[in-house]
Chain A
Amino acid sequence: MTGSLRGRTAVVGIGQTPLYKRGTAPDPEMKLCLRAIVAACEDAGIPPRDVDGFVSYGSERNEGQKLMPALGTRELRFGALIWGHGGGIPGALGLAASAVVTGQAEVVAVYRSLAEQSGARLRVAVAQDDTAAQYLVNGVDGPVQICSLRTQRMLEADGVPRSTMFALAQAAYHHAQRNPQAAAYGKPFDAGVYEQSRFVSEPYRLYDCSRENDGAVAVIVTSAERAADLVDRPAYILSAPTGAAGGWGPLEENHRPYASSGFEAVARRLWAESGYGPGDVDVAQIYENATGMGVGAILDHGFCTAEEAGGLLTFENLIAPYGRLPVNTSGGNLAEGFVHGMSLVTEAVRQIRGTSVNQVPGAQLSLMTGGPGDSVVSSALLGSGATR
């Protein structure tokens, strides 16, 4: 395919700080950011000064030019932010890949850093002051209430069963029990805990909602040629499109289709560019700002229809190592922690490397879907040498 990014770049380094309880990070946001990027460089075997591209998304404020003195950057050749909020994460990989393939940069750091002490309450920071009056005037502050309106429609009008939401939460907490870095490590979770937890905004209970953590996460993207010299198992970027179909965007709940997480157009491009389909995916990291929106992302990517959702999205099917579609194998935004979803990228890479604490044996195709329901969204499919 002319102009395709398929397999021409790879993630060669991953780095992340501990995911601290919100407001408790020992370092300010920019220092966390630097720690994650340096760790990702060390993981890749690349000197930090070689990073010449910087890509992030949402309200990230640690622009590359601010980091240059601390990294010893020789020349910043590419820097950009994907518009939107958490929807842009996998697309940030695609933007980095575009820069590398077109020769604009050679080594691109993709990263996100959040710390409450340096910034606002995270749920406010991620909303970026772009919530329209129609919401705020009517008692709707932001993300979780908006997700609630959409998910209620998915449940009540489209007939997707609530059991799918619980199953996604249960799988995340199950996986977190094997991840000592996870916020929910050592904290058992079952239907009783879930059903007794308070409602935040119906249909969402506390355990349906992502956490808020201080921390930073970074990955390093470079060319497939250089990747082969650097690491044993590069995670090749097979496709990482960003976008929104007409009828989608910042439309104050006038989106069409409404009971959707907004991925139909992006998913079509993802499967077309990569040459794979949902049936080929070995493991998926599904950004869940709230469980039902993650369910919507799975539907949007064609893994099942609304009618089939109750059958596919069960605890047994969603867990590693042998479920039909293991998801959020480090615990995800619900149970591992939340740095605006960026830790899902590092986990998607670990699955290709074979180093996840909940490894899917022989995983060759690893999906990551970005913040569902955002005004623009993105997804990425990572592959091994065998599926490149």
Chain B
Amino acid sequence: MNHNSPRPIAGGIAADGLYWDALEAGEFRLPRCAGCGRWTWPAHWRCGECGSWDFDWTALQPKGVVYSWTRTWYAFDRTRERAGDVPYVVVLVEIDGADGARVMGVLAGDEAALKIGAPVAGTILAPSQKAKGYPSIVWSVQ
């Protein structure tokens, strides 16, 4: 697996196509260097540690702990799709078993136990207008 489907958001370095492809297939995968086994996230083209150009997109459980969070009270220009959800919480999740790799996602459900270090589990959602046509993960505190 080393091909990337084109995706419309051009802001990143475009090495994460397989991340979105996997989510769309209902799987949560992050890249590990095929040479040295290091988790390489966010995805890039070459492992800066061992020089390998190959990555194994490895399936993980979408589980982790809250690394940080913010509750957004404003409908920003480029995320207006979520205007109706304001205020909403975005969590930054440190994924279990991936050497500290972190991904973002909107928090669903009860916010009472929201804090840094709280365990969370993710649910993969099909592409949606709110997520700009991308698949996404929503998280809930366990």
Interface residues in chain A, defined as those with a beta carbon under 8 Å from any beta carbon in chain B:
121, 123-124, 127, 129-142, 145, 148-150, 152-153, 156-157, 198-203, 250-254, 256, 258
Per the 8 Å Cβ criterion, residues 27-60 of B in contact with A are 41-42
Lowest 4 CB-CB distances: which A-B pairs, in order? Answer: A132-B12, A141-B76, A148-B70, A133-B9
A–B pairs, 12, beta carbons within 8 Å: A123-B77, A132-B42, A138-B104, A139-B79, A139-B82, A142-B78, A145-B70, A152-B68, A199-B71, A200-B72, A201-B71, A202-B73
From A121, which residue of chain B is reached at the shortest CB distance? B77
Q: Which residues of the other chain, A, contact B105 by a CB distance below 8 angstroms?
A: 138
Q: Which residues of the other chain, B, contact A145 by a CB distance below 8 angstroms?
A: 70, 72, 76, 90
Q: In the bound complex, do residue A152 and residue B69 qualify as a contact, i.e. CB atoms below 8 Å apart? A: yes
Q: Which residues of the other chain, B, contact A252 by a CB distance below 8 angstroms?
A: 12, 41-42, 102, 104
Q: Which residues of the other chain, A, contact B134 by a CB distance below 8 angstroms?
A: 133, 137
Number of A-B contacts (CB under 8 A): 130
Given the known interface contacts A145-B90, A153-B116, A201-B74, the answer about A136 and B79 at a Cβ–Cβ threshold of 8 Å is yes
Given the known interface contacts A153-B67, A201-B72, A202-B70, the answer about A138 and B77 at a Cβ–Cβ threshold of 8 Å is no
CB B79 to nearest CB in A, in angstroms, measures 4
Count chain B residues whose beta carbon lies closer than 8 angstroms to a beta carbon of A.
42
Given the known interface contacts A138-B90, A139-B90, A252-B42, the answer about A201 and B9 at a Cβ–Cβ threshold of 8 Å is no
Q: Which residues of the other chain, A, contact B12 by a CB distance below 8 angstroms?
A: 130, 132-134, 250, 252
Interface residues in chain B, defined as those with a beta carbon under 8 Å from any beta carbon in chain A:
7, 9-13, 16, 20, 41-42, 67-74, 76-79, 82, 85, 87-88, 90, 92, 100-106, 115-116, 130-132, 134, 136
Q: Which residues of the other chain, A, contact B85 by a CB distance below 8 angstroms?
A: 139
Q: In the bound complex, do residue B92 and residue A131 qualify as a contact, i.e. CB atoms below 8 Å apart? A: no
Q: Which residues of the other chain, A, contact B100 by a CB distance below 8 angstroms?
A: 254, 256
From B80, which residue of chain A is reached at the shortest CB distance? A141
Q: Which residues of the other chain, B, contact A156 by a CB distance below 8 angstroms?
A: 68, 115-116
| Complex Cα–Cα for A250 and B75 (A) | 24
Q: In the bound complex, do residue B78 and residue A133 qualify as a contact, i.e. CB atoms below 8 Å apart? A: no
Q: In the bound complex, do residue B70 and residue A253 qualify as a contact, i.e. CB atoms below 8 Å apart? A: no
From B7, which residue of chain A is reached at the shortest CB distance? A133
| Complex Cα–Cα for A253 and B90 (A) | 12
Q: In the bound complex, do residue A254 and residue B79 qualify as a contact, i.e. CB atoms below 8 Å apart? A: no
Q: Which residues of the other chain, B, contact A201 by a CB distance below 8 angstroms?
A: 70-74
Q: Which residues of the other chain, B, contact A121 by a CB distance below 8 angstroms?
A: 77
